[in-house]
Structure 1
Amino acid sequence: MKFISWNVNGLRAAVKHGFVDRFNELDADAFCLQETKLQAGQIDLDFPGYYQYWNYAERKGYSGTAIFTKHDPLNVTYGIGVPEHDTEGRVITLEYADYYLITCYTPNSGGELKRLAYRQTWEEAFLAYINGLNAQKPVIFCGDLNVAHENIDLKNWQSNHHSAGFTDEERGKFNQLLASGYTDTFRHFYPDQTGIYSWWSYRAHARENNSGWRIDYFITSEKLNDRLLNARILTDVTGSDHCPVELDIRV
């Protein structure tokens, strides 16, 4: 199966920049979105053969996630079951017979790291959530996780050591996640690959110069490692400040 994840940074804007064509060309079994920035009824997308699931933030024009899937799930849940964390539309979980599929938009720590403390509590709650699911059946989760894990995951790591997305605290939480029995699928296949990123600032011609960060992921339960076929970062796909990431897997 082929899964795609993409932070579209405003789905209405992405549609104006070719999203529908990209969606059809990629022809994924499931297409997971982050940062849709929508409320119910603000867009009408018709993708024949796909079920649609949306999670909207209470705050208008902010956050939000969606999943389009060819495969009818057994169950759908929104959020992680913690009221403190479930007002921003950040998580959708689809349950299938043999696995869970989750789209996640992790909170950004923000300018001057104003939300770093909140981000840490989110990380703890989200890890507890997926661990609970993983105890039942394997988990596949994807999204903009707003962290570059290692130095090779961003162009200018020396000057960004204390920037949101590359603090010791955020990277430490990512280490904790992986140590809990999960696989960063891109690094599973390409452990030493450099110069491949999934997000570029709109400033200073960052994408032209490939001055980016790898902050979009497919993470899977380690018990699925023998089913992984490939993981790719589709750097040539435009329409957002992020590019899509892909997972190919036997499930």
Structure 2
Amino acid sequence: MKLVSWNVNGLRACVNKGFNDYFAAAGADVFCVQETKLQEGQIRLELGGEYRQYWNYAHKKGYSGTAVFTRLEPLSAAYGIEGMEETEGRVITLEFESFYLVNAYSPNARRDLSRLAFRLEWEDRFLEHLLRLDAVKPVIVCGDLNVAHREIDLKNAKANIGNSGFTDEERGRMTRLLESGFIDSFRHLNPDTEGVYSWWSYMPKVRERNIGWRIDYFLVSGRLASSIAGASVDCQIMGSDHCPVVLELDLPATVVPATKKEE
């Protein structure tokens, strides 16, 4: 089973920069996008009849938003997270027979950290959401989580300590999430690999010089660790300031065996 996640930073713009070509070439069973920046009816994607489309739009025009395109038919779809008003289109949860998929676009704390308190509250509610799901069946979490967890996950770590996306608070929340039973699939297979990033500033020559951050993830419930067959970052794909991240699970795409939750 192949899953792809990509912060497209405006889906309409990304479609004009090769999105459809990449989508077709990827051949994913599930393809998740973040920061769609559009409202219902503003785009019509021709993805093929086998893909079902699920959208969560922000109330504010041209802002945030998530979507999932899946060949697998979910049992149910839910939007947002319990305990927080859903106006920014940040979370889609799809329930499949033997796992949950959660597509998320975590809030940015902003350069001046004026939204850090909101970000931390969101993280608390998000973790509660994931743990509720994980108590029922395994969870696959993907998206732009807006944090570089470790110094290895960004180019200039020392210079960015305390900056948005690399504050102690945000990194601590990611540590807590992983310690709650989830696995960073890329680091699981590539524990010491440096220089692999998923986001670069639009400043001149930054991407060419690979001065980036790895802030886009696939996390999975710990009991799916042995099923991780591949976890990669398609750094060469343009069209956004982010690039796609990919997860391959050694499980059938149509029938995923249930896994009993460990006590």
What is the TM-score when the length of structure 1 is the normalising length?
0.98
Match of 1:61 in 2: 62
Please give the root-mean-square deviation of Cα atoms over the aligned residues, in Å: 0.7
Q: CA deviation at 1:20?
A: 0.6
Matched, 1:231 2:231: yes
Matched, 1:184 2:180: no
Q: Contact between 2:84 and 2:125, CA under 8 Å: does it hold in 1? A: no
Give the match's secondary structure for 2:112: helix
Q: What does 1:17-32 align with in structure 2 at a 5 Å threshold? A: 17-32=17-32
Q: CA deviation at 1:46?
A: 1.6
Q: Which amino acid aligns with 1:220?
A: V
Match of 1:127 in 2: 127
Question: 1:79-101: per-residue Cα shift (whole Å, max 9, x none)?
Answer: 112343x1100000110110001
Gaps of 5+ in 2: 257-263
Match of 1:175 in 2: 175
Q: What does 1:64-143 align with in structure 2 at a 5 Å threshold? A: 64-84=65-85, 86-143=86-143
Percent of matched pairs sharing the same residue: 57
Gaps of 5+ in 1: none
Q: CA deviation at 1:205?
A: 1.3
For residues 19 and 230 of structure 2, what CA distance do their matches in structure 1 show? 23
Give the match's secondary structure for 1:98: coil
For residues 210 and 124 of structure 2, what CA distance do their matches in structure 1 show? 32
For residues 224 and 50 of structure 1, what CA distance do their matches in structure 2 show? 25
For residues 97 and 219 of structure 2, what CA distance do their matches in structure 1 show? 19
Give the match's secondary structure for 2:21: helix
For residues 33 and 60 of structure 1, what CA distance do their matches in structure 2 show? 17
Q: CA deviation at 1:75?
A: 0.4
Question: 1:185-219: per-residue Cα shift (whole Å, max 9, x none)?
Answer: 00000000000000000003110000000000000
Q: CA deviation at 1:226?
A: 1.1
Match of 2:52 in 1: 51
For residues 236 and 112 of structure 1, what CA distance do their matches in structure 2 show? 31
Question: 1:95-149: per-residue Cα shift (whole Å, max 9, x none)?
Answer: 0110001110000000210100110000000000010000000000100000000
Give the match's secondary structure for 1:178: helix
